[in-house]
Chain A
Amino acid sequence: MGKEYLGEFEELVLTMVGILQEEAYGNAIVNEIKERMGRESNLSAVHVTLYRLEDKGLIKSKMGGATNARGGRRKRIFTITNAGVAMLRAMKDARMDLWKLVPQLKFIGGR
């Protein structure tokens, strides 16, 4: 997966899909981001990102159940694929590896 690169927002959305599991659809993700990160995100931006992630094979989608609040429209439920999980893990590991280097450099600096 090394050659694939994820942007920060993509990574965030991908993580959210992983967290929400069966409840991962556009609105839920927007709300989840707001709740957990305190960050306002735009619905259309989330959708576009979801589609892009789907293109990359990191998530897949299916149509889920309809609710009254949705005017009878079904949800497009996204679930993370194995590739998505692997990608997240690889990115986390890579970051951790880097992170391990950071304190030493900083602290030796004496600030």
Chain B
Amino acid sequence: MPAQKHQPDLAHAEHRIRFWMRLLKWFCPPALYEGIEGDIHEQYITDVETLGERRARRRLRWMVIRFFRPEIILRNKFGLRAQWLMGWQWLKNYFALAGRSIIRDKVTSTIHVLGLSVGLAVAILILAYVRFELSYDNFHEHADQTYRVATKVMLQGDVISQETNTYDGIRTALQSDFPEVKTATSIYGMKPDGLFVRYEDEEKTLKPLESFEAFAADEHFFDVFSFPLMHGAPHKVFAEDYTAVVSETLARKYFGGDAMGKILTTDDGEEKRRFTITGVVEDVPPNSHFTFDLLLHWTGKPKIKQINTDFWVWGGQLYAVLSNGADPRALETKLNRLARERNGLKAKKDDYGQTSTFLLQPLRDIHLHSHLQYELGVNGNSVEVYVLCFLAIIILAIAWINYINLSTAVAIEKIKAVGIRKVMGASRMGLWWQVLTEAAVFNALSMTVAVGIVALAFPTIAALVHLPSGALVWVDGKVLLALLCFFGISTLISGAYPAYVIASFYPVSALKGKGAKVNVSLRKFLVVFQFSSALILIVVTLVSSEQLTFMRTRALGFTTDRLLVVKAFNFDAEIWSDSAGGFMMDEAYARQAEGFKEALRGTSSVANVATLSHLPGESVNWGSEFKAPSVDPEKAIRLKAVGVDYDFLKTLGVRLIAGRNFSPDFSTDRGNEGKRAVLLNEEAVARLGFKDPASAVHQHLQTYWGADYEIVGVVNSYHQLSLKENFEPLYFILQPRALSYYALQLEATDLSEAVGNVETIWKRHFPDRPFNHFFLDHYFNAQYQSDKRFATIAAVLSALAVFIACLGLYGMTSCAVAQRTKEIGIRKVLGASMASLVQLFSRDLVWRILLANLLTAPFLYVGIRHWMESYAFRIPLTVWFFAVPLAGMLALALLTVSVKIVFTSRRNPVDSLKHE
């Protein structure tokens, strides 16, 4: 019978179609599968019997393939609701499991939450900081099309300065000659001590304004910048001459909020002016690269004496708004071409071939990327932002590694539970979801704690890093999205590997409690990575704080001890003029100033008094180009000028190395524009090419306008700027009577009393002028604000990193100890000492730390070398910077392990043997 003949074939035939059936099962919705498979199977069997196996198989293949169609694959109506319901039940179950494991294993859970929450909190804080740093100047309507014109000055092929301001001729050209420039404005900073501003109060008496930032602005100011006006319309406030806009704070402080139409009088020593307030502007937000309380507007050159009507008069900072699609590089080229043309027409006098080129800086890049001369504020540092982002990622990575390592280690304890779940039919996917749910629960908890930490710690941290309190924003679409992303990414990273490990347990061996194929070498690698990261942070912290200490304690070449500085005023009355070759002076004021100095000299608490134009710590903006004909008749060098009096060296403790100090005995010292005596510092002597200081004395310097300066003495190079910068080549000119600062060497031990005395004398001589004073060391060290901030942040971050890493270490040790409790018991019974137990558990660890150091140190060394090169004066990078963190880390790691071991092995060995 045919049926009999076919009978043995059927089992074989069925076997031959397994693959196709499995394929069908793969793409077919489960709800439909049974009916379809049955039909296909039935047809196949019929076909085998009627058509033979080969043709039947061909037909079957075709049938299966024909089922691969959207109506089948995408059809999920039958089971949809049930699936959702099932999924929901599963999810509830996963949450319950996660909750149970949190409660059961409190140590691990605490370590998870602590580590992750600290990591996330750091990340959130750094995100807030970076967000603030990147938000600079973006509130202006035309922020993306606004550029600042910076100037690069070259002398004989060398760049001698790059400045934020530019020539007035460029402003005129930008405002009228370039169609791609929509509008342009120029601002000119006015030093508060050089500008004496008074207001009329109710009784019409004049009272001085104190501590304010003022700028001279032209009528296009509000076309370029969109600082919101509270009173007044943007294009009307500066419609007329002698108008002023004040900030909200200033208006409230001096006019009770109602400032419109009020009068301000200004006196810059040169000219007295009256301004009517036509607008009140909201206080400048902290994320603006310049800040002001007062804008003054009048036509004519603000503050600049009309030396000539040439193109090449230095003006203020110039900002231009380009039209959409205009190419800033093309405009730069045009400006440079214009400058070359004008260069040809330049002044009759040779200025030793100085040329200028122009650079358009995007407004929004100024804060992080511009570090030129005469910046309007302390700018940020893009490198610092990148480094902080990097550190945040490192800390997060350390926290994630903790989670990964610890939860895979703990998974071994749960292996039986996993085995049972598998036997009961849990799918791989299901286990994945279970572990991910647990990670999500931990991350959600940690996120909550992190948000709490940030909310509580932010005021302290903001004060530490000089961040405005408004920098932390929660309710903002982007911020919430970022937090959500943090949560999602953190969950995935921390949960994915443990999920993979747990899902890949073999059910049978898992039930026996073994067979966990945990990749131990990956875990080792992760631990090494953790230690490397910690090492990077610790070394960076050490180096930055040592460098900071070095910079703050190194001898500066002048004395800062009890050196009080009182700001003079009226210094801007003296305009350095190339053509005049000297400074203009108000005689009446000069006599007043001389009287003040005399009175101070008569006070017992004041040892010495000097006047000077530029304090150490201030960037010098006077100077000229010189040739030393006796060395090289061709080479010109730019030197910077400081105006001083006879007592300058004595008061600031600057040493004379060769020649003599200025002296009243030599009437030629003061000199005039054509001939005067100068002191040089060693750096200037070296740059000019003299062999040694002694050989420079009595030599002559020539300026391009033909003046002849005699070098009468050489003084030591002192740090005019921070130790990040090299020595400045300086020359000193005698300005005996009035300059911008009085430097007072106090004698008294009671400094506040001495300051009080000085103030009394000040009030006597300048009754209506504010008494602005500070100590020189504070002023000088203010330059290290950003370094100090960075060192603080690095210290905090590395402490946190080490803390998290130790947490992880503690968790891992606990886990290892728990799994080897019996072993410890047996070893103890056999007489093992505590030390040998610690050794047993820490041997691997020590190797890993050493390996981490070995791997990281070379890269770290190169990186730090590179970083240190940004400091002109720096500490030597010794082996101690690597050895100390290594020793510290080893000690800390051993301590962590020992704590756990001692705790465990103190127990009676019998208890440990009963374990399990």
Contact = CB atoms under 8 A, between A and B. Distances in A.
Interface of A: 25-27, 30, 42-45, 47-48, 51-52, 55, 61, 63, 66-67, 69-71, 73-76
Interface stretch (B66-74, B178-186, B772-780, B816-824): B66-74
B420 to A, nearest CB: 28
Contact of A51 (B14, B46, B63, B75): B75
Given A67-B42, A69-B41, A71-B41, A42 B35 contact: no
Main secondary structure of the interface of A (DSSP, over half): helix
Interface of B: 14, 32, 34-43, 45-46, 63, 66-67, 69, 71-72, 75, 77
A23 to B, nearest CB: 13
B34 A71 contact: no
Given A63-B34, A71-B38, A73-B34, A44 B75 contact: no
A42 B43 CA distance: 11
A27 B66 CA distance: 15
Nearest to A68: B45
Q: Which of A30, A47, A51, A75 counts the most B-chain CB atoms under 10 A from its CB?
A: A47
Contact of A74 (B14, B35, B45, B69): B35
A26 B71 contact: no
Nearest to B77: A55
13 contacts: A25-B38, A48-B71, A48-B72, A51-B71, A66-B38, A69-B41, A69-B42, A70-B42, A71-B14, A73-B35, A73-B37, A75-B38, A76-B32
A30 B47 CA distance: 14
A69 B45 contact: yes
A27 B71 contact: no
Contact of B36 (A26, A42, A67): A26
B4 to A, nearest CB: 15
Q: Which of A44, A73, A75 counts the most B-chain CB atoms under 10 A from its CB?
A: A44
Contacts of A42: 63, 66
Given A43-B43, A43-B63, A44-B66, A71 B37 contact: yes
Contacts of A52: 71
A94 B578 CA distance: 109
B298 to A, nearest CB: 82
Main secondary structure of the interface of B (DSSP, over half): helix
Contacts, number: 70
Given A42-B63, A43-B66, A73-B38, 12 more contacts: A25-B35, A25-B39, A26-B35, A30-B43, A44-B66, A44-B72, A47-B72, A48-B71, A70-B38, A71-B14, A71-B37, A74-B35
A70 B32 CA distance: 15
A51 B67 CA distance: 13
B69 A48 contact: yes
Contacts of A27: 39, 42-43
Given A43-B63, A47-B67, A70 B36 contact: no
A76 B63 CA distance: 18
Q: Which of A30, A52, A70 counts the most B-chain CB atoms under 10 A from its CB?
A: A70
A73 B41 contact: yes
Contacts of A45: 66
Q: Which of B32, B38, B42 counts the most A-chain CB atoms under 10 A from its CB?
A: B38
A44 B36 CA distance: 8
Nearest to A45: B66
A73 B34 CA distance: 6
B75 to A, nearest CB: 6
Which 3 residue pairs spanning A and B have beta carbons closest together? A76-B35, A73-B38, A26-B39
A6 B892 CA distance: 79
